[in-house]
């Protein structure tokens, strides 16, 4: 059983360099879905469906950080209006050898910064997966 504290998330910056932003992330939700097409015909007493194209969305949040090259704000500042999909890696168990790795390309749909008076500055990014994802494992 994996623990969320070990999770890993990396995303390419606008220069196509994979940036590990895990040190600034405290929550990642990955949603996988597919289009469903109603293929019900006359005489049926219930709907039937055929599967279609896959889809997915990632919501990531954490602590705001403007460290050069790798900080959460630094990376997302460039991606929030970037028109071309970039690569991502997601490791729910971390990035150690043999851990599950999900990779694909994505576009940052939205990026929000929040600065409540009695708490730390944080961020949330909504990321649209573009194309298919690939399941694999991290190697040493």
pLDDT tens string 2-28: 788 999 999 999 999 999 999 999 999
Helix ranges (H only) for 23-118 are 72-79
The answer to whether residue 135 scores a pLDDT higher than 90 is yes
Q: Which two tokens stand for residue 6?
A: 């070990």
Q: What is the pTM of this model?
A: 0.90
Domains of the chain: 4-137 (2.40.30)
Average pLDDT over residues 87-114: 97
* 39-48: burial string, b at 16+ Cβ within 10 Å, e else: eeeeeeeeee
User: What's the pLDDT tens digit per position in 33-56?
Assistant: 999 999 999 999 999 999 999 999
Joined together, the tokens standing for residue 77 give: 């500042």
């Amino acid at each position: 059983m994996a623990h969320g504290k070990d999770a890993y998330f990396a995303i390419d910056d606008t220069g196509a360099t994979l940036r590990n932003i895990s040190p600034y992330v405290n929550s990642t939700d990955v949603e996988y879905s597919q289009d469903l097409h109603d293929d019900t015909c006359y005489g049926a007493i219930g709907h039937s469906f055929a599967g279609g194209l896959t889809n997915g969305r990632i919501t990531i949040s954490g602590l705001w950080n403007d460290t050069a090259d790798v900080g959460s704000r630094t990376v997302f500042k460039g991606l929030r209006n970037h028109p071309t999909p970039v690569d991502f890696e997601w490791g729910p168990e971390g990035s150690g050898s043999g851990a599950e790795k999900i990779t694909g390309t994505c576009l940052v749909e939205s990026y929000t910064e929040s600065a409540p008076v009695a708490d730390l500055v944080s961020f949330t990014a909504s990321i649209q997966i573009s194309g298919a994802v690939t399941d694999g494992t991290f190697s040493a």
